[in-house]
Amino acid sequence: MGEIATSEKQITLFYHSKSVRAKKTLAYAKAEGLPILEIDLLKNKITGTQVIELANRLNLNVSDLVNQEHSSYKSNFEHHDFSTNDWIKMIQKNPEIMKQPIALRGDITILVETPSDIIKI
């Protein structure tokens, strides 16, 4: 069992509040009446275990959770092959570089590409 608690009755949404896609996804979910547990990565520190769990649930490597096109990534890091622990530390210190929003409901986890994706779970 993972560190992230999930429920069939609500959607847990990992996002950051400055993200336009996240704001639209939250608005869409609320308009649809979906019960949402919001976890704003800019306000709530994510643990290394949670980062690994999210990557595993999405069938991704931790490095794949990093948006290397984000301006914060480009201004602070050069393109490298980092260790998993390095990627985790980068996400923890710069949560805005993590690809998001990530929605979880029960055993289902998706990386939200468009706001309407939230109804898929």
CATH number for the domain spanning 116: value is 3.40.30.10
Mean pLDDT of 73-89: 86
Q: Using pLDDT thresholds of 50, 70 and 90, give the confidence band for residue 38.
A: very high
Domain that holds residue 33: 11-120
Whole-model pTM: value is 0.92
pLDDT at position 1 is: 47
In the predicted structure, residue 13 carries a pLDDT above the cut 90: yes
Question: Does the residue 40 lie in any domain?
Answer: yes
Question: Does the residue 104 lie in any domain?
Answer: yes
E strands, the chain, in order = 11-15, 36-40, 102-105, 108-111
In the predicted structure, residue 10 carries a pLDDT above the cut 60: yes
Domain count, the chain: 1
Helix axes 84-93, 48-57, angle to 10 degrees: 110
Q: Tell me the average pLDDT of the chain.
A: 92
In the predicted structure, residue 118 carries a pLDDT above the cut 70: yes
